[in-house]
Chain A
Amino acid sequence: MNIALKIGASALALSFAAGMATAQDDSFWKEAGAQFEGVTLRGVTEATPPSNYIKDVLAPQFEELTGIRVDIETTSWDQMYDKAIKDMEAGTGIYDMVYIEQDIVYAYLARDFLTDITGTLTEKPELKAPAFEESLLTSFAEFFRDDDGHLYGMPVEAFIKPYLYRTDLFSDPEIMAAFKEQTGRDLVPAKTHEEYTEIADFFTQWGKDHDMDLWGTTAQAHTGHAASWYEYFESVAPTFGVYNWGIDPENNYAATVENGGRMNSPEAKEALKWWLHLRDIAPPESVQSTWTEVATTFAAGRAAQGLVYGENAAWIASDENQSRVVGNVGVALPPLSDGVLEAAESGEGYLGYYDGGAFGVPVTSKNKDAALLFLQYIAQDELQADWALAGSRITNNATYDDPKVQALNEELGGYFDMLRDQGDLFGGAPAYPFHAQVREATAPIFYSILTGDIGPDEGLDQMAAKAEEELTSLGYRQ
């Protein structure tokens, strides 16, 4: 048999095997779906690119295959939590699936809101899809496990918040020369906060001098929305070595320096002042910007660099209908203080934000089994690549190697490589069950810092005290 014939025969055999596998998978979904005839699953999630893909693509596919209708309600971040928590708290059973952001899962687990996916699939093997294994998932799934290693949420999106910069500006000879002349160093992505500030100041001035709508940095600095609080505590403060919001769970949840916390530590204050300066030289819309507007600002070509949520990276770098910087996006690690990278590598710290979410099944759901089928369906390897293209998210290990994803990775300046290779250096929200409570208790003071009504030093002192007061009131701090 010659080589060509061997290759042909192998290809035919592979195609046949793949076809058989697909047919077998299809038959599983059809048979499994048949017992849920007439069932409609209802889910609530935040309107993000990955969630929209579930609603627009995966849900209809699943319905076609199984006959189970899936209604996904996409809404704002606040509304999503409002609806999901009220439903689970009241036990109304309206939702069969809820979006669980990584930062709220500990609160949900503490309240026994969620169905044990691992346990249920072990108890009911007839529900287990042949193509689904928990080992397919990336390490991000670990955030959604309990102490026994049981999975409570099927990851649907995972991203880091990297440092994006404009490659066209950073490689423009005229700009490079001007920067070198002004600062004495080459224009390359910043590694330290001082370098970042220098670049930001330079580009803001460059925009002014050349009458361009260009500023040196983005800033997620809304003066009335939690997005600004998050940018500071979860993206900026860690790069100065202040982790877990400056609260020490090992030390009676102390937040003030006086009691052993770091929320108002010198490093925290330095971080806040650094970020406030960036806010001042960012585009004017920054004071009204949440994570969405920051992405839009960068995509509109109004900022030379910025910390941008990775869930937006794909469309910023590749969608010409929405972005003016297609093909001109570079990605790097955020600027860091001395020792932070080493701390992250040793597991003692982290250098930025790793976020994402999963779909969980409330224990109050009336269609738990059908919902578990859907969660396994969307976790299949073969569905992941197109989903990654639509939402720049990866939750399965195999997705990184897909040719389509590799191609997008090039356009994204290596974002997916960073997610895979250095994702572990980033950290999600701390494992606090009182996440929203402490945030909302301290946020009004933070907003007052942003408006200048309170100075950053005094403001952080007040916030740390307020955090301890809230934690005492909730019973976590004795």
Chain B
Amino acid sequence: MHSKTLGWALLAPTLILLFFFGVVPFIYVLFVSFHQWNPFAVNPDMIFNWAENYRRVVFDAQFLASLGVTVAFVFFAVVSELIIGYALAQAFMRDFPGKAFFRTIHTLPLIMAPIIVGSIWKLMTTPSIGILPNILDDWFGFNLNIGQSALQAFTVTVIMDIWHWTPLVTLSLIAALVSLPPDPFEQAQIDGANKRQIFWHITLPMIRPAIIATVFIRLMDALRTVDEVLMLTGGGPGSATRYLGVHIFKEVFPRTNYGYGSAISVVVLYLTIVACWLLYVSLIAPRNTKKG
């Protein structure tokens, strides 16, 4: 009883903070989402309009377009980060000259604020003065202009996200790889398993919890990307990189469409939860069921 009370007491500060900074704002956003509210309308008051905002979301071509490019962005970014992050983690498990140096350099993007990352990439990709368009033009005759080409803009935002967040994946997977016991690997080698078999049947299953956790984190982060993209492309060209976070930002802040913007935010939160649940069901639940 005593330890239970102590436990709650220790948890209390966190729970209180979470309640005020997580639960209360969410309830407020949910409340606003059922209202028509634009402070610069003729009537600037909040007007309850039932689920009209949610009905509008479903038929909003701009929202659906944003959803589409966001799904593509998340897929390419997270999958690439996972693959590159794993390869780097394996590389850092081995000894090579300058390993400590490269490991430090490799993690530097993580400590940068997203808005700085966006600025750096904007400088690097601006036609004529940016290093990337110049190099690509000089070496390959390739014209990089992300203000003009939707595909290029999309690709660069994905690469920027990979550059920024792959170190997180690498560090998570290094931690997982370091903690693996050596016995299963030695036994597999004795049994004659090759590297590919060891990877598929031993390494991957053993680090799966770490992979799932990392994918959850990256999935949620990628779905709410705003600052980097806003700085780099502003959501353009056209709506090519108007990801959900950018779309919500433009709807809520410059357009001050608070009611509708809140509804989109709630829908995006719901979709994020569903995506994570699907991931959980498809990757973790079957394994637990088999065990049971």
Contacts and interface: CB of A to CB of B under 8 A. Distances in A.
B127 interface: yes
B261 to A, nearest CB: 11
Nearest to A297: B128
Interface residues of A, number: 39
B42 to A, nearest CB: 3
B111 to A, nearest CB: 22
Contacts of A433: 40
Contacts of A208: none
Contacts of A439: 254
Interface residues of B, number: 35
B238 A437 contact: no
Interface stretch (A131-139, A198-206, A270-278, A445-453): A445-453
B227 to A, nearest CB: 11
B144 to A, nearest CB: 10
A268 to B, nearest CB: 20
Contact of B237 (A82, A110, A450): A450
A89 interface: yes
B237 A447 contact: yes
B62 A474 contact: no
B41 interface: yes
B234 A444 contact: no
Contacts of B242: 224, 444
B237 A436 contact: no
Contact of A441 (B41, B42, B234, B255): B255
Main secondary structure of the interface of A (DSSP, over half): helix
Contacts of A195: none
Interface stretch (B70-78, B82-90, B145-153, B169-177): B145-153
Say what secondary structure dominates the interface of chain B: loop
A444 B233 CA distance: 13
Given A223-B148, A285-B129, A475-B42, A437 B237 contact: no
Interface in A429-461: 433-434, 436-437, 439-441, 444, 447-448, 450-451, 453
A436 B256 CA distance: 8
Contacts of B147: 222-224, 285-288
Nearest to A470: B255
Contacts of A286: 147
A42 interface: no
A475 B150 contact: no
Given A288-B126, A440-B250, A444-B62, A223 B237 contact: yes
Nearest to A283: B128
A447 B254 CA distance: 16
B43 interface: yes
A197 B137 CA distance: 28
Given A285-B127, A436-B256, A444-B242, A225 B39 contact: no
7 contacts: A222-B236, A223-B147, A223-B148, A285-B147, A436-B256, A441-B255, A450-B236
Interface of A: 78, 81-82, 85, 89, 107, 110-111, 213, 222-226, 283-288, 293, 302, 433-434, 436-437, 439-441, 444, 447-448, 450-451, 453, 473-476
Interface of B: 38-44, 62, 122, 126-129, 145-148, 150, 233-242, 250-251, 253-257
